[in-house]
């Protein structure tokens, strides 16, 4: 596996950074995860725009041009034989020898990217879905930034597992549904698709955008509105969406079945449209 680190392509196992990197010391950095189907970057412009938004919000200078980002990621993809991959890329504010919350003026960002095989969902997950619990969202108030500081997400994932679930759906301080620990949340009620609006409480997921565009194309009504815990628990279907999982059906919430306890009909339809949409984009 080959990684890109600060201008060089090197074996992943040999990649090294300084312990004085502000990413390591402060979690001072941002990241992206981008799916690749048939060696083609999927919704790349949208991922690049979100990366630029995260960099701008944190005041980290974008170290590369759009053309350079595109070239690096495509070079990484070509260096690996997998047809379907996912790219992880991270930019931190850089290495600083004096430990100080205040960033020094002259830092150069650390740029890191590598690629992994993208596995499709297992037959077991497709047939049975996943179990979730609701947990209080203990994260910060800028969840719209894709920051590398993921300790609360890790703690929440562990807490969900301790309660016998696969994941958690997080409830914000205001009592409304936010998102999963690494995914956006959708519900289906009476044939309509609902999801919380974008805000600083959630990451503006690219898969969420993909689903919005598919819903529009196929005349599936999609409503963006704040959802209560009750609406979530009484939904006919619940989905979790992300670049590596696409749309995952949730079949159990807080120990109770969602709908009839099986992946729902609208999810099945959406999944077919999603696979077709991927195919259409690859062939463009």
**Taking the complex as a whole, how short is the minimal distance between the CB of residue 210 and ligand PLP, in angstroms?**
8
Please identify, using beta-carbon distances, which residue of 91 and 95 lies nearer to ligand PLP. 91
Per annotation, catalytic residue among 146, 201, 245, 278:
146
Counting Cβ atoms within 10 Å, is residue 103 exposed (0-12), middle (13-18) or buried (19+)?
middle
Whole-angstrom CA distances from 201 to 74, 170, 193, 258 are 32, 10, 20, 24
Please identify, using beta-carbon distances, which residue of 103 and 204 lies nearer to ligand PLP. 204
Q: Closest Cα to residue 38, out of 86, 84, 100, 96?
A: 84
Per DSSP bridges, beta strands 192-195 and 246-253 are unpaired
Q: Is 146 a catalytic residue?
A: yes
- 183 touches ligand PLP (CB under 6 A): yes
Please identify, using beta-carbon distances, which residue of 177 and 182 lies nearer to ligand PLP. 182
Scan residues 185-214 and list those touching ligand PLP (CB under 6 A).
203, 205-208
Please identify, using beta-carbon distances, which residue of 2 and 209 lies nearer to ligand PLP. 209
Scan residues 212-241 and list those touching ligand PLP (CB under 6 A).
241
**Taking the complex as a whole, how short is the minimal distance between the CB of residue 17 and ligand PLP, in angstroms?**
22
Unique residue bearing structure tokens 């949409």: 277
β-pair partners for 58: none
Judged by CB under 6 A, how many residues of this single chain contact ligand PLP? 13
Work out which of 33, 126, 145, 159 binds ligand PLP, going by CB under 6 A.
33
Phi, psi (deg, nearest 5) at residue 128: -110, -20
- 251 touches ligand PLP (CB under 6 A): no
Please identify, using beta-carbon distances, which residue of 87 and 95 lies nearer to ligand PLP. 87
Quote the CA–CA distance of 283 and 73 in Å, as a whole number.
19
Contacting range for ligand PLP; rule: CB under 6 A; set: 1-9, 154-162, 179-187, 190-198: 179-187
- 182 touches ligand PLP (CB under 6 A): yes
**Taking the complex as a whole, how short is the minimal distance between the CB of residue 8 and ligand PLP, in angstroms?**
27
Whether the CB-CB separation of 107 and 95 falls below 8 Å is answered with yes
**Taking the complex as a whole, how short is the minimal distance between the CB of residue 169 and ligand PLP, in angstroms?**
11
Quote the CA–CA distance of 256 and 36 in Å, as a whole number.
35
Q: Closest Cα to residue 242, out of 190, 187, 170, 180?
A: 180
Q: Closest Cα to residue 239, out of 204, 276, 265?
A: 265
- 242 touches ligand PLP (CB under 6 A): yes
- 179 touches ligand PLP (CB under 6 A): yes
Binding region for ligand PLP (CB under 6 A) = 33, 179, 182-184, 203, 205-208, 241-243
């Amino acid at each position: 596996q080959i990684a890109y680190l600060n201008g060089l392509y090197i074996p992943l196992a040999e990649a090294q950074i300084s312990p004085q990197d502000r990413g390591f010391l402060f979690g001072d950095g941002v990241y992206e995860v981008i799916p690749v189907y048939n060696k083609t970057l999927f919704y790349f412009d949208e991922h690049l725009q979100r990366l630029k938004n995260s960099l701008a919000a944190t005041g980290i200078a974008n170290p590369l041009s759009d053309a350079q980002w595109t070239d690096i990621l495509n070079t990484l993809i070509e260096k690996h034989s997998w047809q379907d991959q996912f790219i992880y890329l991270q930019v931190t504010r850089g290495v600083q020898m004096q430990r100080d919350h205040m960033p020094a003026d002259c830092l150069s960002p650390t740029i890191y990217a590598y690629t992994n095989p993208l596995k499709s969902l297992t037959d077991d997950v497709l047939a049975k879905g996943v179990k979730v619990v609701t947990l209080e969202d203990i994260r910060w108030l800028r969840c719209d930034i894709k920051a590398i500081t993921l300790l609360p997400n890790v703690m929440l994932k562990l807490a969900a597992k301790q309660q016998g679930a696969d994941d958690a759906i997080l409830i914000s301080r205001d009592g409304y549904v936010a998102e999963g620990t690494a995914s956006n949340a959708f519900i289906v009620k009476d044939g309509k698709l609902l999801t919380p609006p974008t805000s600083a409480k959630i990451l503006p997921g690219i898969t969420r955008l993909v689903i919005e565009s598919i819903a529009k194309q196929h005349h599936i009504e999609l409503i963006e509105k704040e959802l209560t815990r009750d609406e979530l628990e009484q939904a006919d279907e619940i989905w979790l969406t992300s670049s590596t999982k696409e749309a995952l059906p949730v079949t159990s919430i807080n120990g109770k079945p969602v709908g009839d306890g099986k992946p729902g009909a609208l999810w099945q339809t959406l999944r077919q449209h999603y696979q077709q949409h991927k195919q259409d984009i690859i062939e463009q």
